[in-house]
Amino acid sequence: MGRYEMGLRAHIIQFCGEFSYPAQACSALLECCDRVTQSPASERFFMLVARYEADEMQNYPKTLAELETLAGQAGTHPYTLQLLYFICLARHARQLYRWRHIPEQVYFDSMCDLKWKLFECQKVHGVWGSFVAFWFPRFFELTRFALGRLQFETVTFGREYRNAGWELSPQDVALNVHIPSCGPLSREACLDSYGQAAAFYQDYFEERAAAFTCESWLLWPAHADFLPAHSNIRPFMADFDIIESKADPRGSDLWRLFDRECDCATADLPGDSSLRRAYIDWLRRGNPVGEGIGVFFWKDGGVLRHE
């Protein structure tokens, strides 16, 4: 038995406890672990885990595809095995965060993304696992971080932009904002995250204003026409200058709102919140949904207002 196999069950139990996983989720992950370690998939699975120490996340699309094959050999669900794989990687990831002097809280908040995706998978597919495991690698490459409520990574902005006395060129760096499904999107929490991100990435901006960008269904401009006045999405949108938007006839992001696979033509959707009811009414009137791309500058502890 190799060193990765040794203590794996204890690691899963410890990880699930540290990150407050439901007991049912922990049991499902332990069952998946047992099925893998007792199957022909065992040797290859642990070779994939060991590879992370050697080359971090090189060729991870191939790794995720291979995990699907190994799940079949082990008689377990691929969504569960893919999540288990990243939980295994979390041991070495913690060391990488420490070696690079990244605060333990940043590691903890970043690894919480595994839990947020676990909950999504259970709600949408009824499986304890993740159906978006392709999303995780940048947390393990240490190129995407959760800083409070929101998540950030550096991107090349790719276009000309000018506002609030500051400007961006196509080659300039901006902080790409991601919004995990981990509870209310309060104004205070967003401002706190922006401030943390501006400090965390300050070497990229020095004396310049920090630039933030986001591409999300939350920035669909039509929200101003139908969302409730008290919706937290409204102040989140107000921070951004929405520079581009596009309709999505399929409603690809509606699952994020309704916790089920659905599209714009779906008739039976849960209306148990004011946000869901507003969306249902909007859709029933034949209106489109979509997404927007926004940008704003941050300087001296605050969002700079749009010109």
pLDDT digits (tens, 9 = 90+) for 135-160: 999 999 999 999 999 999 999 999 99
Where residue 1 falls among pLDDT bands split at 50, 70, 90? Answer: very low
By the 10 Å C-beta count (0-12 exposed, 13-18 middle, 19+ buried), 22 is classed as: middle
- DSSP code at position 273: S
Q: Residue 55 pLDDT more than 90? A: no
Give me the mean pLDDT over the 234-260 stretch: 96
What pTM, to 2 d.p., does this model score? 0.95
- Which is more confident, 88 or 306? 88
CA distance 174 to 172: 7
Instruction: List, for residues 31-51, the tens digit of each pLDDT value.
Output: 999 999 999 999 999 999 999
Tokens of 217: 């269904």
Residue ranges, CATH 3.40.630.120, the chain: 145-303
Q: Quick one: pLDDT at residue 60? A: 87
What pLDDT sits at residue 5?
Answer: 59
Mean pLDDT calculated for residue range 20-37: 97
Output the six-digit token pair for 35. 């099925």
What's the mean pLDDT in 268-289? 94
Q: Which CATH number fits domain 145-303: 3.30.1360.150, 3.40.630.120, 3.40.50.150, 2.60.40.1930?
A: 3.40.630.120
